[in-house]
C-alpha cells in the first residue's frame, strides 16, 4: 500500500491525522482507540470542515477543556488588549530545576520534560511498534528544541496543553499509518509559508527554528502566503515517515483524504493524502560508480561484499579500458537516495579512487513477497513478484544452497524440487 502526501499548504500534526483518517473505512474505530489510550483529560473528536469549497475533516483535540487556537487569533487578541489563547508555540520553556522561581512556576503551570513525554507514550494502550514510531518522532522534536535553544534536552520543559496536543497528533498519525497498512510513504516538497510567528520567546521567522532544524535535508519552499504553514510536529512526522520527497510519480489512486487546518488563506488550507493500492510503478535509486586501475581483484571483491553488508541494492563490476589503453574495472552500485553520502564515503575509504560519480535514476519495479514450500530437503523460500501485468516466481538462492549443503545433494536437485512444489501450489 502506497501513500502520497501533498504538502502544498504545509503540514501540521492535526492536519496529517485528519487526512489519514479520511482514508480509513471505519473512522469510529480509530476515535474509539484514541479515546481509550489512557490520556487523562484529553478529548478527541473530528468534524466536517470546508476550505475554498473543498470538504474535508478537521480534528478537535482538547486538553483539560482547552483546544489549540490559531496564531492569527492570538495576535488579534493581543491587539485588542485581551489575554491571548493558548497555542502550541507557547509550550517550550527553559528552566533550572533548582531555582525557586522555577518551582513556583511549576506549581502554577504544569509542564512536562522530555522524559515525562516518553514515559506517557510508553504507558499508552498501544502496540509496541506504534509506540516505537511515536517515540522516534518525538525524539526529533526534542532534539530540535535542544539544538535551537543550545541546552540539553532534559532542560527543556513543554507546557501541558502543547505537549499533550503534540502527543495526540504523533500517536494518532503513527496508529493511522499502521491501521491503513501503508508500506511506502512519499510526499511533495513542503511549503513552509513566510513572515513571522509569535512564540513564548518573541517573534521568530517562518519556518520556526525548530521546524527548520527538523526539515534539514527535506526540499522546502516559501511563497506569498504569510504565516506558518508547517509546524514542528508536522515536520517531525514527515521527516520520520516519508521515504521520498518529490513530485508525484505515476500511480493508481484508490482514495483521497483532505485534512483541514484552522486558518483560512486564499488557497485551501489542507493536507491532501492519496492512497494507492499498488506501489508497483516508479522507484528512485542512486547509481554510484568509480574507475579502478590499481586494485587487485581480491580487494575489489572485499569492497563489493562490504557494500552489500551496508545495504546497497545491487553492486557489479565492468571491465573497461582507461587512458593509455590501461585495463581497469568500473565498480558500480545502486542504493537508496538517503544512503548516497554514506556509500560514497565507503567507496572513498575502501578503494583507491580519488572520486566517485553518482546520478539519480528512475526505475519501474514490481512488488514482491516471500512464501515457503516444503521439499524433501527442507523448507525453501519462494520470491513471488507481481506488477505491470506480469508475475514471476523463483526459489531463493541462499535457501537452495543451504539445503543442498545440509543434505549433501546437488544445487540443481534442490532447485528442481522447489520449483516442482511451487508449480503444484498453482494448480
Give 216-245 as a DSSP string: TTS-EE--S-BEE-B-HHHHHHHHHH-SEE
In the 8-state DSSP scheme, what is residue 70? P
CA distance 161 to 90: 9
Assign residue 88 a region (left: φ > 0; alpha: ψ between -120 and 50; beta: otherwise).
Answer: alpha
CA distance 274 to 352: 46
Q: Please check whether residues 232 and 257 belong to one and the same domain.
A: yes
H/E element holding 226? none
Q: Please check whether residues 305 and 392 belong to one and the same domain.
A: no
- Overall average pLDDT of the 285-308 stretch: 96
Query: With bands split at pLDDT 50, 70 and 90, how would you rate the model's confidence at 71?
Result: very low
Domain count, the chain: 3
The average confidence (pLDDT) of the chain is: 87
Q: Please check whether residues 124 and 172 belong to one and the same domain.
A: yes
- Overall average pLDDT of the 53-71 stretch: 83
7-40 pLDDT tens trace: 999 999 999 999 999 999 999 999 999 999 988 8
Q: What is the pLDDT of residue 364?
A: 82
Q: What is the pLDDT of residue 78?
A: 31
Q: Which residue has the higher pLDDT, 26 or 426?
A: 26
Q: Please check whether residues 104 and 244 belong to one and the same domain.
A: yes
Q: Please check whether residues 377 and 327 belong to one and the same domain.
A: no
Q: Please check whether residues 309 and 197 belong to one and the same domain.
A: no
The cell numbers describing 199, all together, are 512564540
Q: Cα separations (Å) of 313 from 333, 336, 345?
A: 7, 7, 17
Q: What is the pLDDT of residue 67?
A: 83
Is the pTM higher than 0.85? The answer reads no
pLDDT at 82 over 50: no
Query: Of how many residues is the chain composed?
Result: 427
Q: List for the chain the helix, strand, coil content (%; round to 5).
A: 40, 35, 30
Q: Please check whether residues 231 and 296 belong to one and the same domain.
A: no
**Residue 311 CB: number of other CB atoms within 10 A?**
11
* Burial (CB count <10 Å: 0-12, 13-18, 19+), residue 276: buried
Q: Please check whether residues 146 and 218 belong to one and the same domain.
A: yes
CA distance 178 to 174: 7
Q: Which of 56-65, 86-95, 238-247 has the lowest mean pLDDT?
A: 86-95
CA distance 331 to 318: 7
Q: Please check whether residues 209 and 140 belong to one and the same domain.
A: yes
Q: Please check whether residues 265 and 328 belong to one and the same domain.
A: no
Q: Please check whether residues 184 and 333 belong to one and the same domain.
A: no
The cell numbers describing 30, all together, are 480509530
Q: Please check whether residues 152 and 272 belong to one and the same domain.
A: yes
Domain span at residue 407 reads 367-426
Q: Which of 311, 335, 364 is the last residue of a domain?
A: 364
- Overall average pLDDT of the 375-384 stretch: 95
Asked whether the beta carbons of 68 and 161 are under 8 A apart, the reply is yes
Query: With bands split at pLDDT 50, 70 and 90, how would you rate the model's confidence at 69?
Result: low
Q: What is the pLDDT of residue 285?
A: 93
Q: What is the pLDDT of residue 92?
A: 56
Amino acid at each position: 500500500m502506497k501513500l502520497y502526501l501533498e504538502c502544498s499548504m504545509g503540514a501540521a500534526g492535526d492536519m496529517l491525522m485528519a487526512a489519514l483518517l479520511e482514508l480509513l473505512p471505519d473512522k469510529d474505530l480509530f476515535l474509539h482507540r484514541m479515546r481509550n489510550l489512557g490520556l487523562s483529560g484529553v478529548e478527541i473528536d473530528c468534524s466536517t470542515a470546508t476550505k475554498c469549497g473543498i470538504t474535508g475533516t478537521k480534528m478537535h483535540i482538547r486538553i483539560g477543556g482547552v483546544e489549540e487556537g490559531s496564531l492569527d487569533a492570538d495576535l488579534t487578541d493581543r491587539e485588542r488588549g485581551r489575554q491571548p489563547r493558548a497555542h502550541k508555540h507557547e509550550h517550550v520553556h527553559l528552566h533550572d530545576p533548582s531555582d525557586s522561581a522555577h518551582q513556583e512556576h511549576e506549581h502554577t503551570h504544569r509542564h512536562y520534560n522530555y522524559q515525562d513525554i516518553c514515559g506517557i507514550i510508553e504507558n499508552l494502550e498501544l502496540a509496541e511498534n506504534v509506540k516505537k514510531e511515536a517515540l522516534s518522532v518525538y525524539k526529533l522534536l526534542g532534539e530540535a528544541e535542544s539544538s535551537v535553544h543550545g541546552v540539553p534536552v532534559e532542560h527543556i520543559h513543554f507546557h501541558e496543553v502543547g505537549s499533550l496536543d503534540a502527543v495526540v497528533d504523533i500517536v494518532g498519525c503513527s496508529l493511522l499509518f499502521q491501521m491503513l497498512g501503508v508500506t511506502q510513504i512519499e510526499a511533495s516538497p513542503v511549503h513552509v509559508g513566510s513572515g513571522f510567528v509569535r512564540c513564548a520567546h518573541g517573534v521568530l521567522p517562518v519556518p520556526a527554528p525548530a521546524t527548520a532544524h527538523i526539515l534539514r535535508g527535506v526540499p522546502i519552499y516559501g511563497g506569498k502566503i504569510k504565516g506558518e504553514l508547517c509546524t514542528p510536529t508536522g515536520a517531525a512526522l514527515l521527516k520520520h515517515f516519508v521515504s521520498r520527497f518529490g513530485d508525484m510519480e505515476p500511480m493508481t489512486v484508490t482514495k483521497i483524504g483532505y485534512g483541514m487546518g484552522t486558518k483560512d488563506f486564499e488557497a485551501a488550507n489542507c493536507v491532501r493524502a492519496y492512497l494507492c493500492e499498488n506501489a508497483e510503478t516508479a522507484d528512485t535509486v542512486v547509481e554510484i560508480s568509480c574507475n579502478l586501475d590499481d586494485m587487485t581483484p581480491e580487494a575489489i571483491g572485499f569492497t563489493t561484499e562490504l557494500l552489500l553488508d551496508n545495504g546497497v541494492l545491487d553492486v557489479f563490476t565492468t571491465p573497461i579500458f582507461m587512458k593509455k589503453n590501461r585495463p581497469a574495472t568500473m565498480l558500480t552500485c545502486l542504493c537508496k537516495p538517503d544512503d548516497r553520502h554514506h556509500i560514497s564515503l565507503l567507496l572513498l575509504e575502501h578503494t583507491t579512487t580519488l572520486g566517485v560519480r553518482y546520478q539519480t535514476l528512475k526505475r519501474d519495479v514490481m512488488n514482491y513477497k516471500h512464501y515457503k514450500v516444503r521439499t524433501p530437503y527442507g523448507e525453501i523460500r519462494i520470491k513471488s513478484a507481481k506488477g505491470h501485468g506480469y508475475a514471476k516466481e523463483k526459489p531463493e538462492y541462499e535457501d537452495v544452497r543451504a539445503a543442498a549443503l545440509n543434505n549433501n545433494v546437488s544445487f540443481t536437485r534442490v532447485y528442481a524440487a522447489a520449483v516442482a512444489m511451487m508449480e503444484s501450489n498453482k494448480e
